[in-house]
Protein backbone atom coordinates (compact mmCIF):
# COMPACT_ATOMS: atom_id res chain seq x y z
CA UNK A 1 0.00 0.00 0.00
CA UNK A 2 1.38 3.40 -1.00
CA UNK A 3 1.73 6.03 1.67
CA UNK A 4 -0.38 9.13 1.20
CA UNK A 5 0.71 12.73 1.55
CA UNK A 6 0.12 14.47 4.85
CA UNK A 7 -1.95 17.62 4.58
CA UNK A 8 -0.61 20.59 6.53
CA UNK A 9 -2.24 23.99 6.92
CA UNK A 10 -0.25 27.20 7.25
CA UNK A 11 -1.54 30.68 7.94
CA UNK A 12 1.26 32.98 6.77
CA UNK A 13 1.36 36.67 7.51
CA UNK A 14 3.99 38.03 5.11
CA UNK A 15 5.59 41.44 5.58
CA UNK A 16 8.08 41.94 2.76
CA UNK A 17 9.40 45.42 3.43
CA UNK A 18 11.65 45.41 0.36
CA UNK A 19 8.74 44.79 -2.05
CA UNK A 20 6.12 46.67 -0.04
CA UNK A 21 4.10 43.46 0.11
CA UNK A 22 1.92 42.90 3.20
CA UNK A 23 -0.60 40.11 2.99
CA UNK A 24 -1.97 37.05 4.73
CA UNK A 25 -2.06 33.67 3.00
CA UNK A 26 -3.97 30.55 4.03
CA UNK A 27 -2.02 27.64 2.52
CA UNK A 28 -2.67 23.95 2.23
CA UNK A 29 0.53 21.95 1.79
CA UNK A 30 0.60 18.34 0.64
CA UNK A 31 3.66 16.87 2.31
CA UNK A 32 5.06 13.88 0.41
CA UNK A 33 5.75 10.86 2.69
CA UNK A 34 9.50 11.17 2.03
CA UNK A 35 9.62 14.95 2.58
CA UNK A 36 11.32 16.15 5.76
CA UNK A 37 10.10 18.95 8.04
CA UNK A 38 13.14 20.93 6.91
CA UNK A 39 12.24 20.72 3.20
CA UNK A 40 8.58 21.54 3.81
CA UNK A 41 9.52 24.60 5.83
CA UNK A 42 12.02 25.75 3.20
CA UNK A 43 9.16 25.46 0.67
CA UNK A 44 7.06 27.71 2.92
CA UNK A 45 9.96 30.15 3.16
CA UNK A 46 10.29 30.14 -0.64
CA UNK A 47 6.58 30.92 -0.90
CA UNK A 48 6.97 33.84 1.51
CA UNK A 49 10.01 35.24 -0.29
CA UNK A 50 8.04 35.41 -3.55
CA UNK A 51 4.54 35.74 -2.07
CA UNK A 52 1.87 36.52 -4.59
CA UNK A 53 -1.80 35.58 -4.89
CA UNK A 54 -1.05 33.66 -8.11
CA UNK A 55 1.68 31.40 -6.65
CA UNK A 56 0.85 27.69 -6.61
CA UNK A 57 2.56 24.69 -5.09
CA UNK A 58 3.67 22.08 -7.61
CA UNK A 59 2.86 18.38 -7.30
CA UNK A 60 5.96 17.95 -5.17
CA UNK A 61 8.67 15.32 -5.05
CA UNK A 62 6.69 12.94 -7.26
CA UNK A 63 6.74 15.30 -10.28
CA UNK A 64 10.09 15.90 -11.98
CA UNK A 65 8.63 18.29 -14.53
CA UNK A 66 7.26 20.76 -11.96
CA UNK A 67 8.93 23.02 -9.43
CA UNK A 68 8.12 23.23 -5.74
CA UNK A 69 6.24 26.48 -6.44
CA UNK A 70 5.34 28.36 -9.59
CA UNK A 71 3.35 31.21 -11.04
CA UNK A 72 1.80 31.04 -14.50
CA UNK A 73 0.20 33.80 -16.53
CA UNK A 74 -3.39 33.47 -17.84
CA UNK A 75 -2.12 31.73 -20.99
CA UNK A 76 -0.34 29.06 -18.94
CA UNK A 77 3.17 30.37 -19.66
CA UNK A 78 5.45 30.01 -16.64
CA UNK A 79 6.46 33.37 -15.22
CA UNK A 80 8.18 32.14 -12.07
CA UNK A 81 9.71 28.72 -11.32
CA UNK A 82 10.84 28.22 -7.71
CA UNK A 83 12.62 25.10 -6.53
CA UNK A 84 14.16 24.16 -3.20
CA UNK A 85 17.12 21.97 -2.32
CA UNK A 86 19.93 21.02 -4.68
CA UNK A 87 18.35 20.28 -8.06
CA UNK A 88 20.23 18.71 -10.95
CA UNK A 89 21.95 21.38 -13.07
CA UNK A 90 20.49 19.91 -16.28
CA UNK A 91 16.96 20.24 -14.84
CA UNK A 92 17.67 23.83 -13.76
CA UNK A 93 18.83 24.73 -17.29
CA UNK A 94 15.64 23.16 -18.69
CA UNK A 95 13.58 25.25 -16.26
CA UNK A 96 15.42 28.38 -17.43
CA UNK A 97 14.24 27.59 -20.94
CA UNK A 98 10.64 27.20 -19.80
CA UNK A 99 10.22 30.11 -17.36
CA UNK A 100 10.85 33.84 -17.38
CA UNK A 101 12.58 33.59 -13.98
CA UNK A 102 13.94 30.62 -12.03
CA UNK A 103 14.75 30.84 -8.33
CA UNK A 104 16.48 28.12 -6.33
CA UNK A 105 16.37 28.21 -2.54
CA UNK A 106 19.28 25.92 -1.67
CA UNK A 107 19.78 24.37 1.76
CA UNK A 108 21.81 21.57 3.26
CA UNK A 109 24.92 23.10 4.83
CA UNK A 110 28.18 21.94 3.27
CA UNK A 111 26.25 19.99 0.64
CA UNK A 112 25.32 23.36 -0.91
CA UNK A 113 29.03 24.16 -1.35
CA UNK A 114 29.64 20.79 -3.04
CA UNK A 115 26.57 21.18 -5.27
CA UNK A 116 27.47 24.75 -6.27
CA UNK A 117 31.07 23.79 -7.04
CA UNK A 118 29.82 21.05 -9.40
CA UNK A 119 27.01 23.11 -10.98
CA UNK A 120 28.52 26.61 -11.01
CA UNK A 121 30.08 26.40 -14.46
CA UNK A 122 26.85 25.16 -16.05
CA UNK A 123 24.56 27.57 -14.21
CA UNK A 124 26.63 30.78 -14.07
CA UNK A 125 25.57 31.74 -17.62
CA UNK A 126 21.84 31.38 -16.96
CA UNK A 127 20.58 35.00 -16.92
CA UNK A 128 17.09 33.99 -15.76
CA UNK A 129 18.43 32.15 -12.71
CA UNK A 130 18.84 33.29 -9.09
CA UNK A 131 20.19 31.04 -6.35
CA UNK A 132 19.88 31.90 -2.67
CA UNK A 133 21.15 29.75 0.19
CA UNK A 134 19.43 29.20 3.52
CA UNK A 135 22.16 28.54 6.12
CA UNK A 136 22.01 25.14 7.82
CA UNK A 137 21.18 26.57 11.24
CA UNK A 138 18.29 28.52 9.67
CA UNK A 139 16.75 25.56 7.85
CA UNK A 140 17.07 23.34 10.91
CA UNK A 141 15.49 25.99 13.14
CA UNK A 142 12.63 26.33 10.65
CA UNK A 143 12.07 22.56 10.83
CA UNK A 144 11.35 22.92 14.55
CA UNK A 145 8.41 25.21 13.71
CA UNK A 146 6.78 22.57 11.49
CA UNK A 147 3.38 21.18 12.36
CA UNK A 148 0.11 20.01 10.84
CA UNK A 149 -1.36 23.43 11.60
CA UNK A 150 0.89 26.49 11.67
CA UNK A 151 0.42 30.20 12.15
CA UNK A 152 3.58 32.05 11.10
CA UNK A 153 4.60 35.69 10.80
CA UNK A 154 7.36 36.24 8.24
CA UNK A 155 9.21 39.53 7.91
CA UNK A 156 11.65 40.11 5.05
CA UNK A 157 14.07 43.01 4.77
CA UNK A 158 17.37 43.31 2.88
CA UNK A 159 18.18 39.60 2.82
CA UNK A 160 17.21 39.11 6.47
CA UNK A 161 14.18 36.99 7.26
CA UNK A 162 12.43 36.53 10.60
CA UNK A 163 9.97 33.68 10.96
CA UNK A 164 7.94 33.57 14.16
CA UNK A 165 5.15 31.51 15.61
CA UNK A 166 3.39 31.97 18.95
CA UNK A 167 6.40 30.54 20.86
CA UNK A 168 9.66 31.33 19.11
CA UNK A 169 11.30 33.20 16.26
CA UNK A 170 13.95 32.18 13.77
CA UNK A 171 16.29 34.76 12.21
CA UNK A 172 17.68 33.76 8.80
CA UNK A 173 20.36 35.62 6.86
CA UNK A 174 20.07 34.51 3.26
CA UNK A 175 23.22 34.18 1.13
CA UNK A 176 23.00 35.06 -2.54
CA UNK A 177 24.94 32.52 -4.62
CA UNK A 178 23.78 33.89 -7.98
CA UNK A 179 21.63 36.92 -8.76
CA UNK A 180 19.33 37.42 -11.74
CA UNK A 181 20.88 39.30 -14.67
CA UNK A 182 20.55 43.05 -14.20
CA UNK A 183 19.11 43.65 -17.66
CA UNK A 184 15.83 42.00 -16.71
CA UNK A 185 16.04 38.94 -18.93
CA UNK A 186 12.87 38.24 -20.94
Does residue 184 sit within a domain? no
Taking only the tens place, the pLDDT of each residue in 29-64 is 988 888 899 999 999 999 999 999 999 998 765 556
Cα torsion angle, 140, 103, 13, 58, sign: negative
Q: Give the pLDDT band (50/70/90) at residue 138.
A: very high
Would the pTM count as exceeding 0.85? yes
Taking only the tens place, the pLDDT of each residue in 105-117 is 999 999 999 999 9
pLDDT of residue 186: 41
Q: Which residues of 84-100 are buried (b: 16+ CB within 10 A; e: fewer)?
A: bbbbebeebbbbbeebb
Whichever domain contains 156, its CATH number is 3.10.640.10
Range of the domain at 167: 6-178
The residue-averaged pLDDT of 166-185 equals: 86
Does residue 63 sit within a domain? yes
Number of domains in the chain: 1
Please say whether the beta carbons of 116 and 168 come within 8 A. no
How far from chain centre, in Å, is Cα 132? Answer: 9
Does residue 159 sit within a domain? yes
Amino acid sequence: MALKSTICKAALSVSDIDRGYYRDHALTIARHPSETDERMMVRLLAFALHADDALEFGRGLSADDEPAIWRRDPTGAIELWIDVGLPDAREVRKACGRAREVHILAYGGRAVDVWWLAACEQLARQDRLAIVEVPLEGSRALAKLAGRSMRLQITIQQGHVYVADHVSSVPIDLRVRKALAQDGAP
